[in-house]
Homo-oligomer: A and B are copies of this chain.
Amino acid sequence: MIDLPILVDDSLFDAYDVQKARRNRGMPLEALALDTTPVGMHYLLAHFDIPIFDPDTWSLGITGHVKKPLTFNLEQLRRFPRMSQIVTIECAGNGRTHIEPRPPGNPWGYDGVSTSIWSGVSLQLALNEAEILKSARSVVFSGADFGERLGRTEYYKRALSLEEAASDDMLLAFEMSGRPLEPQQGAPLRLVAPGWYGMAHVKWLTGIELIDHEFDGPQHEAYRIKQSEDELGEPVTKMKVRSLMIPPGYPENSHRHRLLEPGLVTLQGRAWSGTAEIERVEVGINNVWAESVVEPAVADRKAWQGWTYQWGAESGEHLLRCRATDALGNTQPLVPSWNLRGLANNAVQQVAVTVR
Contacts and interface: CB of A to CB of B under 8 A. Distances in A.
Contact of A184 (B11, B38, B104, B149): B38
Copies of this chain assembled into the complex = 2
A31 interface: yes
A290 interface: no
Contacts of A13: 12-15, 17-18
A19 B253 CA distance: 12
A111 B39 CA distance: 19
Given A13-B12, A40-B40, A107-B22, A28 B184 contact: yes
Contacts of A259: 148
A245 to B, nearest CB: 14
Interface stretch (A42-50, A165-173, A191-199, A280-288): A42-50
A76 B8 CA distance: 46
A40 B252 contact: no
Contact of A97 (B18, B50, B254): B18
B17 A185 contact: no
A47 B182 contact: no
Given A13-B14, A250-B48, A22 B111 contact: yes
Contacts of A107: 18, 22
Contacts of A293: none
A93 interface: no
Given A9-B15, A28-B23, A40 B253 contact: no
A149 B253 contact: yes
25 contacts: A10-B15, A12-B12, A13-B14, A16-B256, A17-B18, A19-B109, A21-B21, A22-B24, A22-B111, A23-B26, A25-B25, A28-B46, A39-B39, A39-B40, A40-B40, A40-B42, A41-B50, A47-B253, A48-B250, A48-B251, A48-B253, A104-B254, A147-B253, A149-B252, A153-B250
Interface of A: 8-19, 21-26, 28, 30-31, 33-34, 38-42, 44, 46-52, 97, 104, 107-109, 111, 146-150, 153, 179, 182-185, 250-256, 259
